[in-house]
Amino acid sequence: MMNRRRFLCTAASGAAMFVGVPRLLGVAAKYDLLIKGGRVIDPSMRLDAVRDVAISDGRIAAVETSITTDVVETIDARGKIVAPGLIDIHTHCARSGEGPGLVLQDGVTGWIDAGSQGADHVADTIAVAKTSPQQGRVLINVGRAGILSDGDTMDINRADVAALRDAIARNRDFIVGIKARLSRDVAGANDYEVLRRAQEVATAFNLPVMIHMGQTTSALSRLMNLLKPGDIVTHMFAPPPNSIVDENGHILPEVLAARRRGVWFDVGNGQTGHMRWDTIESIMKTGFWPDTFSTDWNSNSRTTGVIDLPNCMSKLLGLGMPVSAAIACATLNASRTFEIFHDRGTLNVGAPADVVLLELRSGNFEFLDNYGNKRSGNQRFFPSGTVLGGKWIPRA
């Protein structure tokens, strides 16, 4: 009489025969984790379809219509969106040790702290980045004292080129760019000179500069001309003065030229002065849509109009942005901005297994700008769970 093992060995020809076999034979499961039945949206693969995603050894192992192989753990993702882990390129989550863990709960598997600290105290933010569960890096503020309530570079001597250069040289692995906050209440009339100094140092290290635009003293067109390919403009929806759109609803030619030469345009939701619905609407109408969403996250973001990155990603759905485009902004597009993320933002087989599960709920949702104005929308993304490096992190 043929025993069961023998039967399987001799009779199995189709793959389907092997369902459950590894367990029968006492062999280790083929995959560590299986995310089953979700709507997989992966703009890097132009994929939007119901798929199973299998993970092994911290990497994406298979994305297929139906995976029935034995696995250690299965997550039921039916009714949910399964996307690459979200990347937030403008946060302040390195201001405290709790930040990275909190945004991980929102599905953020990679973050940039955008200029919380300058040369004097950048070591504090780097220490947070070093112990972060997910990838975290910092932009150093061009102002050596970091963010100051009376203006980072209101005193131009704080834009200290030598101090900036030294700090970057000592921390090449964690400082991935320079942040220049240029609004009138931050830099006064120094905006152009602050950006020129930031660019002088950034160019020497081949690093990008992220500018915080909006309500600047100098004309935006003049500042735009100082930006090089790979630089980032955050707060792109900032209302006048010095918005990216003129009073007739036309995008400034210097802004279009900047995008054409490879400058990125980022949302940077934040809390004050960075987005107003009428400006957002006039910019969206031109078709000049953001490359990336970002929260400008702080520890109080839950209670401001930010809430979380998925909420910020939902704000343009009512203005014509398709779901897959919103996801592309927080995954594929964001992964292109900093080298550290170049292998992320994708569910391609072999990529690090950073995955987010989102619920796209229908209903009546209110979205806030930075001026207390509300817009209602009928769809909103909610974070529902995260996989980081192959490990399942449920919502707390």
Closest CA to 212 of 92, 110, 300: 92
Cα(62)–Cα(32) distance, integer angstroms: 12
What are the respective helix, strand and coil percentages of the chain, to the nearest 5?
Answer: 30, 30, 40
What are the residues binding Zn ion (CB under 5 A)? Answer: 114, 296
Shorter beta-carbon distance to Zn ion: residue 180 or 245? 180
Nearer to Zn ion, 291 or 296 (CB): 296
> What's the CA gap between 69 and 73, in Å, rounded?
11
Minimum CB–partner distance for residue 314 and Zn ion (Å): 20
Assigned token pair, 294: 């970002």
- Least separation in angstroms between residue 212's CB and Zn ion is 6
Q: Which is nearer to Zn ion, 114 or 284 (CB)?
A: 114
Site of tokens 């005193």: 155
Q: Least Å distance between CB 144 and Zn ion?
A: 17
Distance CA 68, CA 145 (A): 56
Residue 207: phi, psi to the nearest 5?
-115, 155
Smaller CB distance to Zn ion: residue 89 or 358? Answer: 89
Q: Which is nearer to Zn ion, 106 or 354 (CB)?
A: 106
Query: Minimum distance from CB of 35 to Zn ion (Å)?
Result: 33
CB of 219 to Zn ion, least distance (A): 22
Q: Which is nearer to Zn ion, 114 or 387 (CB)?
A: 114
Shortest Å, Cβ 340 to Zn ion: 19
Residue 253 burial (C-beta neighbours within 10 Å; 0-12, 13-18, 19+): exposed
β-pairing, 108-118 vs 135-141, is parallel
End-to-end, the C-alpha distance of the chain in Å comes to 53
Give the shortest CB-43-to-Zn ion separation in angstroms.
25
- Pick from 315, 388, 385, 366: which is nearest to 106 by CA? 385
**Residue 297 DSSP label:** B
Q: How far is the CB of 296 from Zn ion (least distance, A)?
A: 4
Give 124 or 359: the residue with its C-beta nearer to Zn ion: 124
* Axis crossing angle, helix 161-170 with helix 191-205, rounded to the nearest 10: 30
Nearest to Zn ion of 39, 212 (CB atom): 212
Distance CA 233, CA 273 (A): 15
Cβ of 322: how many Cβ atoms within 10 Å? 11
